[in-house]
Structure 1
Amino acid sequence: MVRVLGHLSGIKKLTIDYDRAKILVTGAPYNYLEDLKLGFDFTDRSEMSVALCLIGSSPNLWRLEIKAYTRASPVEPVLEFLKDQGHLNFSFNKLEFVKMVCRGAVRSEVEFIKFVLANSPALKEMTILLNNSDEAQVALQKELLQFQGASAQAKIIFLKPYLVW
């Protein structure tokens, strides 16, 4: 798979699920990639790095679906990594639609959502499927609805995963 992806820069649609993201070759631009479905562990700094590199190497990406997986790993290294990315020049200029399944609404998932919102000026809709308690959902919804993203027209929709996925 490593050798193959390095030569598929013309790919338009890509789906990679949990534990497969680690073996990707990133860095080469995927100029034709428009639709990406990606599952990765939000408590694993290397998986987060690969995911951001793949997304950032896809300048024509307009639809992104993320399935968040979480292990019982410490989240602090991932949070620090995400904060460091805020200082870089990330911009997902053509990203219009994002769908994300949050497994536990761990802090790294919330910060990733904020990171995408802050760097997606063309975003029209972000659908977040929450898989946690009602109290945690209300807190997450309040926090994200108060967050000022890069797109003034973006709608944030919150759903229960069992209703859609």
Structure 2
Amino acid sequence: MCFADDHGLAFLAVLIKCSPNLEKIKLKINTFHMWCENGISSAILEQYSDVWFEHLNKLKIISFRNFKAEMEFVKFILARSPKLKKVSIYSAAKSDQELEMLKVLLQAPPVEIGVY
């Protein structure tokens, strides 16, 4: 998955919307692209505010760097997954960003969150 442009985020949102019985998501974020924050990511996710992940119980993200689009996506999933039990995030963020990232993630509904 590449969040370097909003095409990847839009594709992921549509793919998930078309998979209502999805139980697990394993997402590896592509770290080879230069990052640009363009502010469109939250607008894309707002288009899918009616999407609920009724069966999702595990979320695993590899190479998470705490960029805005990545965090918006995680918050989107957390807010719309009532049966989510376990979130594993393998961080590629700088150590000073990890504390900020944990603060945001721990505000989510009760779920087991591990950052590695």
Specify the TM-score bucket, using the shorter chain as the normaliser.
Answer: 0.7 to 0.9
By relative contact order (CA 8 Å, sep 6+), the higher-ranking structure is 2
Deviations 1:44-102 (A, max 9, x none): 211111111111111111011011125325321223323x236x311000000010013
Given that 1:127 and 1:158 are in contact with CA atoms closer than 8 Å, whether structure 2 keeps it comes out as yes
Change (3 A) 1:136 1:73: closer
Kindly tell me the number of residue pairs found equivalent between the two proteins.
114
Structure 1 length as normaliser, TM-score?
Answer: 0.63
Given that 1:69 and 1:103 are in contact with CA atoms closer than 8 Å, whether structure 2 keeps it comes out as no
Residue of 106, 109, 113 corresponding to 2:74: 113
Shift of residue 144 of structure 1? Answer: 1.0
1:122 paired with 2:83, answer yes
1:74 paired with 2:65, answer no
Given that 1:102 and 1:131 are in contact with CA atoms closer than 8 Å, whether structure 2 keeps it comes out as yes
Q: Which amino acid is the alignment partner of residue 74 of structure 1?
A: C
Given that 1:102 and 1:109 are in contact with CA atoms closer than 8 Å, whether structure 2 keeps it comes out as no
Separation (CA, whole Å) in 2 of partners of 1:131 and 1:54 = 25
* Match in the other structure for 2:47: 85
Q: Which amino acid is the alignment partner of residue 114 of structure 2?
A: I
Q: Which amino acid is the alignment partner of residue 43 of structure 2?
A: E
Structure 2 length as normaliser, TM-score?
Answer: 0.87
Aligned identity (percent) is 28
Shift of residue 104 of structure 1? Answer: 2.3
Shift of residue 134 of structure 1? Answer: 1.3
User: Mind listing any 5+ residue stretches in structure 2 that lack a counterpart?
Assistant: none
The RMSD of aligned alpha carbons is 1.7
